Amino acid sequence: MSLTFTLIQTKLFWENKVANLKTLEEKINSIQQKTEVVILPEMFSTGFSMRPEEFAETMDGATIAWMKKIAAQHKIILTGSLIIEEDKKYFNRLIWMLPNGTCGYYDKRHCFAFAGEHEHYSAGNKRLIAQVKGWKINLQICYDLRFPVWARQNIHAENKEPEYDALLNVANWPERRNHAWKTLLTARAIENQCYVIGVNRVGNDGNEIYHSGDSMVVDPLGEILYHKQHDEDVFTITLEKEKLNDVRNKLPFLKDADEFKILNDE
């Protein structure tokens, strides 16, 4: 069983929602191939802003409405993160928007304290593993990539199946640490025997921090199926579940993994 993803590696207009949504809509409209999941970077409507009090929206806001419109028009799942206000808190929230207008969401677990994200945003405490066409997809945001326990596969006690098939990470990851980005994407694929998709932005942000993109797709053996550096790109790739199952059957390493539980801090 196959699943087709489109990765949008793009420049972002700093704290300019109108310009970002206009540009992203043009890029999505330009996709020629049939696709099923379209992936946007972290904070795709603003860039990595530490001014949530000015740019946050609710789940009934304009950007969510835009995602609903685009997903319905193109009959796709549209995903990426934006700034959401809820219960008087701000979240860096990844939206998983279905074509019928319903959505799931994941709040970034690991706030990037080095840039003060933890001073402005509340951390999430629950993973979201989305399901589509028999695929299970673990959704994460940027800095989460550095914490392998949060991404680690669990094996279901009943059916002995791995918890997910693909790990998706959307980011605003600076070029100065791109070696870590590329290494960790590959490591997450190998250790969890899954596909990994990392979608990053390019260009300078409002703090003159340069992003080289380096969006990647990595297979469960750690082979790089796609990598794009520096340039904007709209790339579509079809991943095969059969290949994933073949790797897991021939190399059943997950069966030897340590059992563990992630405890919520509520």
Active site residues: 42, 108, 142
Tell me, rounded to whole angstroms, the distance of Cα 147 from its chain centroid.
15
Q: How far apart are CA 17 and CA 82, in angstroms?
A: 10
Q: How far apart are the first and last CA of the chain?
A: 38
The residues facing 8 across adjacent strands are 234
**CA distance linking residue 117 with residue 128, whole number of Å:** 21
**The one-letter amino acid at 114:** F
Measure CA 229 to chain center: 18
- φ and ψ at 156, to 5 degrees? -60, 130
CA distance 187 to 184: 5
Pairing label, strands 135-141, 166-171: parallel
